[in-house]
Amino acid sequence: MRRIGLVINPIAGMGGRVGLKGTDGKLEEARRRGAEPRSPARAREALEGLRKRAEGIELYTYGGEMGETAAIEVGFSPVVVGYPDGEGTDADDTREAVRQFLEADVDLILFVGGDGTAVDVAEALQECDGETPILGVPAGVKVYSSVFAVTPRDAGQIAATFEGTERREINDIDEDAYRGGDVSTELKAIVSVPVDEKLQSSKQTGGGTVEALAAAVAADIEADDAVYVLGPGSTVHAVKTELGFEGSPLGVDVYHDGDVLVRDAAESAILDALGERNVIVVSPIGGQGFVFGRGNDQISPPVIHRSEIEIVASKGKLDDIGVLRVDTGDRELDETLRGWKRVRTGKFERRLLKLV
């Protein structure tokens, strides 16, 4: 009998689509902007993957929205080890859930959230001198660490079937600095994680020279009459600079015919700015290959459905990536996006890369 402890950070990822680049210290602002919880649906998707292999699985959860509710909705009869202290939930509740899981001697801690949640889980493990492996279900805005499965469903499958573990890194960034355009990851912990090819790599923050690529992309944008949705990251930021405006390096800007329609846009503002023809320009995350679903939740499925997509990247970045990935939260959309894609690497150059 394999014992799995499930803990959900109910507010993880809420800041993404409303343009806050994280929820740490910004929960009320996210709610004011109309943010909806993301992690419960991601948790249910992971649990569905686990449920298919539920024979021999005993599920332990924390109470209410931190695990119990989602588990019951999917069909589990979980062992509830405790409940949040108070009306809301916070990092202390996550740490207490981990402590209770360790008391119950679980074989794996499955958590739903982002890098901040991963840090909370790791800190509780360290406090208890625990060596229990952990596995992340990606639900946060920041998902840079290599302890996460590629998709929620992958997480459920890995949790049910893994045989060995390996040591992997948890990295996190300062969200306030991140909102200001400073992307600098800090190693927070090294933990045991199931061995599986469906785990994501750590994000690489370094990059190569992209000036020629950016100049070529900008020239084509200036000659076009489409509305352009320009994603985050250093590569697309170089395109914004070539267009002559100081864009949001880690946010999404909307540009049309020489004018910046929206800076650092939330999903709703992007949708309002879209025209008859729209083009999304994005660059995959170095080391991971994610085109959508990591750090650019503002470019949501409704935005993608109304737009063409241009993927741009330096040749060096593509050499490191190998494949492209998506995790939009809309499985049907993800399936339609998969296949061979032309990635622009220069003025005329394109490279075929498979989106898996």
Dump pLDDT digits (tens) for 242-276: 999 999 888 999 999 999 999 999 999 999 999 99
Q: How far apart are CA 354 and CA 324, in angstroms?
A: 6
pLDDT computed for residue 209 by the predictor: 55
Tokens of 199: 């785990």
Dist. CA 34–CA 14, nearest whole Å = 9
Q: What would the CATH number be for the domain defined by 2-194?
A: 3.40.50.10330
Sequence ranges of the domains in the chain = 2-194, 211-355
Supply the DSSP string of 160-209, one letter for each residue: HH---EEEEEEEE--HHHHHTT----EEEEEEEEE--TTBPPPPP-----
User: Is the per-residue pLDDT at 59 higher than 70?
Assistant: yes
Q: 113-172, pLDDT tens digit by residue? A: 989 899 999 999 999 988 999 999 998 776 878 899 999 999 999 999 999 999 998 988
- Cα angle: 318, vertex 193, 179; to 5 degrees: 55
Across the range 281-307, mean pLDDT stands at 94
The confidence band for 18, taking pLDDT boundaries of 50, 70 and 90, is: very low
Greatest C-alpha distance within the chain = 63
Contact indicator for 7, 59 with CB cutoff of 8 Å: no
| Token pair for 154 | 């992958």
DSSP-derived 3-state class of residue 320: helix
Query: What is each CA distance from 177 to 21, 91, 249, 316, 321, in whole angstroms?
Result: 11, 20, 12, 27, 26
Q: For residue 65, what is the DSSP state?
A: G
With a pLDDT cut of 90, the percent of the chain lying above it is 62
Q: What is the mean pLDDT of residues 324-344?
A: 94
Interhelix angle 91-103/115-127, nearest 10 degrees: 50
SS3 294: coil
Q: What is the mean pLDDT of the chain?
A: 87
> Number of C-alpha atoms within 13 angstroms, CB side, residue 231?
29
Contact of 206 with 286, CB cutoff 8 Å? yes
Calpha distance 342→311 (Å, rounded): 7
Residue 346: the pLDDT is: 86
